[in-house]
Structure 1
């Protein structure tokens, strides 16, 4: 996990305590991981989360200003005992979510490894805790044609 605050080492044996990263801006934390996409395309995001307050999850493949999807107002009511599922491809079920930009439901991934950055969007609230994440290829993407070599 990336971020700016000191790590909580209260539950760790005291023999090699690492309290870093530590930075001046403690309002933002993020998760960074890599997804190995089997093919290039637009991918829906499905996951399990817990959040005691209404908060957002912003998924990005780069600098957070382009190619991103923000899942809005995730809330379970209880941070420690309640889990819920969100799914950016859902249209009617209870897992349906509101996204920002409006109706932007997918991240564009390249074939192979993709760096994914996940953060909250509200300062000093933080992102919901999430566990299992699944990136699902949107199979209904239009086929491109090769116009440079017409038959």
Structure 2
């Protein structure tokens, strides 16, 4: 790939990640399906437990690796129903491996506001998305996604 093709691929992957975050925050299954590769693997294991204190909520909800575009989109869209979420990312590290494969690391912060009467009103999370991408049906899509956490702040109900 020449420099222009590489820069175009990086721009497309940035847009892809923005669509992923919008899909998660809007709980939009169709949008999530569009950003996921057919053979996606998503690893959120441990993402609801603070790595420093061990405090967590619903760790069983992230016990399994999600596989397949259809099933993963359905599960991700439904997992945060009733939760107001906002995801932000900082400058990523994106490496174009070849014309059809890339990888990236995205620093991120997310805020989740919970309804109901659980012990926590809100969660503020910090960490990184480690991802690989594949050019599939003419568009970049997320092939693997691993969310690692450096910290979680749990805000108790007043």
TM-score of the pair, normalised by structure 2: 0.26
| TM-score (normalised: structure 1) | 0.27
Higher relative strand content = 2
Which has the larger share of helix?
2
Between the two structures, name the one with larger relative contact order (CA 8 Å, sep ≥ 6): 1
